[in-house]
Amino acid sequence: MNYLYINNKKYKFEKGNSLLNIIQLNKLGMESPCGGKGTCGKCKIKVVDGSVDDLTDEELKFLNKEELKNNVRLGCLVYPKGDITAEFIKSEDKNHKILTEGYMPEFNKSPMLSKKAFKLNKPTLENNISLEEILEKQNININNDYDILKSIPSIFEKDNCTVVYLDEKVIGIECEDTTENLYSIALDIGTTTVVASLIDINKQCEIDCESDINPQKEYGLDVLSRINFAKTNENGLEILNKSIIDCINSLIIKLCEKNNINKENIYELAVAANTTMMHILLKINPNSIGKAPYSPVFISGKSIKAMDLGINISSFGRAYLLPGVSSYIGADIVSGICVCDLHKTKKNILFIDIGTNGEIVVSKNSELSSCSCAAGPALEGMNISCGMRAGEGAIENIKIGEFIETKVIGNTKPKGLCGSGIIDAISEMARLKLIGSTGRINKKSMIEKDNNLKHLSENIIDENKKRRFVLDTQNPQIAITQSDIRQVQLAKGAILSGFYALLNSMNIDIKDLDEVIIAGQFGKHLSVQSLVGVGIIPKELKEKIRYIGNSSKTGAIMTLLSKDIRKEMECIAKDISYCELSTEEGYERLFTDCLKF
């Protein structure tokens, strides 16, 4: 048995594991967006002492001279041969900005959850029927619920009780009159972020909201990497599951403490999430989602005891999982469709949730069709040489004119670019023809010949047969590389071709579209200029774009406030057809066409 020494602690490991693997199995908190395949370069770690293999070519791609000098390596490519001492590289992941507000339509409020107080009858010697029967005679039917049965003796110690109903069904009984306290939580579990809203069911409104980064990001940035992590590690699924459950519980505690609420008075949790996140939440093996024929284990709506999931709300509280459509059109999208009334519209509407996975829905006079495309994490600033999350020091907006103007989160010295910054940059480069339609950065010599651009020629740098565009010649570390452009190009190509394929399959011409709705946390940060500039959305739709915000969360809130909405969601999920792009005829050619700027 060997030991890893890190953070002044030691951890056992068996030879044959990568350093990343050892760190993740011990839950020490290390990100691996690509899932440990050596392709993202994000699992950098300093090897202080111990025998390891020589540097690989893959690592050389991601490490600069300073790092090489300091013995920095990629954790996923280092296999310790014996005891090893390592040090983490400082992360820059604090002060994240997450969008939690959003548009909510008008709807009829009729919550599933309700409470009613009762004065309890008591048995007498003349009528000593069972306590269960006394409740039945007061119309409190506990059916076959063992947990409620166990609570009956303590309930009868008092004169009054409160019955908690979900729809018409008794889910729990509490001592005394507690009708004043009736809360639920709406939860949006994104691949990247988790948002929790506290809902007062009596007042029928949202009273607070908290959010956090999805801690599963350590084990892969996109759903496929996480599915792979669950598959290739013995306790992989348990680790992923525990990390999201812990995250949810800590958000609940935060909301309770801030609002002076007892978590025992939270009785329901409505969850909107993509299909993989739902599987992991229920600790259900998501393996089938990741390989052909891409069948999920379940997509229907579920109501499960929160306690069975390890979620700490009322001991008899329930978790309601919104229904999804398929492996890649999840409950988060169904939620968004419902928020936008896409299932009721008379218009032709395109709904698009831009993220690591792009989900696209078209409503043609309320007939719904959907597709999804693997955009990859580039649009979110991942797999990008200077990419970073939308945290302090991230360039989030760029304008290239006489000078290059940048807007940095936190107004500090820039450290890198977040997703919107990258898209802005490439959009501007395309507009100014610094890049050609194939995506290639034009030669310095060509730029110098163009009067409008020649002031930017110094920003073009050729080195080691690679070309990059630096944003600030004084700070040449921050740049857009040819490879970054390729990554964004692939993402744009995937989304745009999905969009066209879906319109084709529904026989809608692009000019017949009445509206383009941009949903999701991330989409909100992309300006119309950027979206159109980089070519994710065709120019002719520029005036028709509307941002809807986090419609996944909003839909979850609506299911808590309305039984009807819950039924509607079930209908929507059943009625959407799903278009599998990979089997669509001519899709490959369409995709290639869509790569062009």
Chain positions contacting a second copy, by CB under 8 A: 123-134, 144, 146, 149-150, 152-154, 156, 282-285, 287-288, 292-300, 302-305, 308, 326-327, 580, 582-583
Q: Taking the C-alpha atoms of 558, 560, 563 and 565 in order, what is their torsion angle to the nearest 10 degrees?
A: 20
User: Min. distance of Cβ 301 from a second copy in angstroms?
Assistant: 9
User: Min. distance of Cβ 156 from a second copy in angstroms?
Assistant: 7
Q: How far apart are CA 526 and CA 547, in angstroms?
A: 10
Minimum CB distance to a second copy smaller for 8 or for 144: 144
Minimum CB distance to a second copy smaller for 1 or for 125: 125
User: Min. distance of Cβ 175 from a second copy in angstroms?
Assistant: 14
Minimum CB distance to a second copy smaller for 296 or for 555: 296
Minimum CB distance to a second copy smaller for 187 or for 394: 187
DSSP-derived secondary structure letter, 372:
E
Tokens of 595: 């790569």
Minimum CB distance to a second copy smaller for 158 or for 454: 158
**HSE-up of 141 (CA within 13 Å, CB side)?**
5
DSSP-derived secondary structure letter, 455:
G
Q: How far apart are CA 115 and CA 164, in angstroms?
A: 5
Report H helices in 191-222.
none
Contact 309, 320 (CB under 8 A): no
Minimum CB distance to a second copy smaller for 134 or for 556: 134
User: Min. distance of Cβ 124 from a second copy in angstroms?
Assistant: 5
Contact 338, 550 (CB under 8 A): no
User: Min. distance of Cβ 131 from a second copy in angstroms?
Assistant: 5
User: Min. distance of Cβ 171 from a second copy in angstroms?
Assistant: 13
Contact 50, 83 (CB under 8 A): yes
CA angle at 409 for the pair 407 and 412, rounded to the nearest 5°: 85
Minimum CB distance to a second copy smaller for 55 or for 304: 304
Beta bridge partners of 481: 468
User: Min. distance of Cβ 164 from a second copy in angstroms?
Assistant: 18
User: Min. distance of Cβ 63 from a second copy in angstroms?
Assistant: 39
Rg (CA), the chain: 27
User: Min. distance of Cβ 251 from a second copy in angstroms?
Assistant: 22
At 393 the three-state DSSP class reads coil
> Furthest-apart CA pair in the chain: how many Å?
106
Minimum CB distance to a second copy smaller for 1 or for 292: 292
Minimum CB distance to a second copy smaller for 85 or for 287: 287
User: Min. distance of Cβ 127 from a second copy in angstroms?
Assistant: 8
Minimum CB distance to a second copy smaller for 324 or for 520: 324
Question: Does 293 sit behind a cis peptide bond, omega within 30 degrees of 0 on the bond before it?
Answer: yes
**DSSP secondary structure, 260-308, as one string:** T--GGGEEEEEEEE-HHHHHHHTT---GGGSSTT---S--S-EEEEHHH
**DSSP secondary structure, 457-481, as one string:** GGGEEEETTEEEEES-TTSTTSEEE
Q: How far apart are CA 528 and CA 413, in angstroms?
A: 26
